[in-house]
Amino acid sequence: GIQVEQSPPDLILQEGANSTLRCNFSDSVNNLQWFHQNPWGQLINLFYIPSGTKQNGRLSATTVATERYSLLYISSSQTTDSGVYFCAVGNTGNQFYFGTGTSLTVIP
């Protein structure tokens, strides 16, 4: 299967700070999604981004498929951004591979 590595594993930020989360993957993919898992366990879709750049409010993401990595940018972080961020990828098979996540804590 595809190996997915996320960094950093843990991140603590002051409210208002910016951050960059990284996702590296071991094989070519045609599906990449970023999720935010809230404290109740719900995985919330942030981006479907197998390539290119997308922005949604304070969040943006870039995937460079040829170099097998994706970045998630969070600007002007808020306490509600706290939680675990997952990157997940898929290729030709019918399976989705998840990274181990980045745990983000935003302090007021």
Partner 1 sequence: KAGVTQTPRYLIKTRGQQVTLSCSPISGHRSVSWYQQTPGQGLQFLFEYFSETQRNKGNFPGRFSGRQFSNSRSEMNVSTLELGDSALYLCASSSRLTLSTDTQYFGPGTRLTVL
When asked if residue 88 is in the footprint of partner 1 (CB under 8 A), the reply is yes
Closest CB to partner 1 among residues 88, 106: 88
Asked if 99 and 3 touch (Cβ cutoff 8 Å), the reply is: no
Q: Label the pairing between strands 102-107 and 31-37.
A: unpaired
Closest CB to partner 1 among residues 13, 46: 46
Q: Give the closest residue to 11 by CA, choosing from 88, 87, 82.
A: 82
Provide, rounded to whole angstroms, the least separation between the CB of residue 40 and partner 1: 7
Can you name the residues that pair with 44 across neighbouring β-strands?
A: 36
Residue 66, amino acid: T
Can you name the residues that pair with 47 across neighbouring β-strands?
A: 34
Provide, rounded to whole angstroms, the least separation between the CB of residue 67 and partner 1: 20
CA end-to-end span of the chain: 40
Provide, rounded to whole angstroms, the least separation between the CB of residue 28 and partner 1: 11
Q: Which of residues 2-61 bind partner 1 (CB under 8 A)?
A: 29-31, 33, 35, 40-45, 48, 50
Tokens linked to 86: 């997952």
Answer for which of 25, 34, 85, 97 binds partner 1 (CB under 8 A) is 97
Site for partner 1, rule CB under 8 A: 29-31, 33, 35, 40-45, 48, 50, 86, 88, 90-101
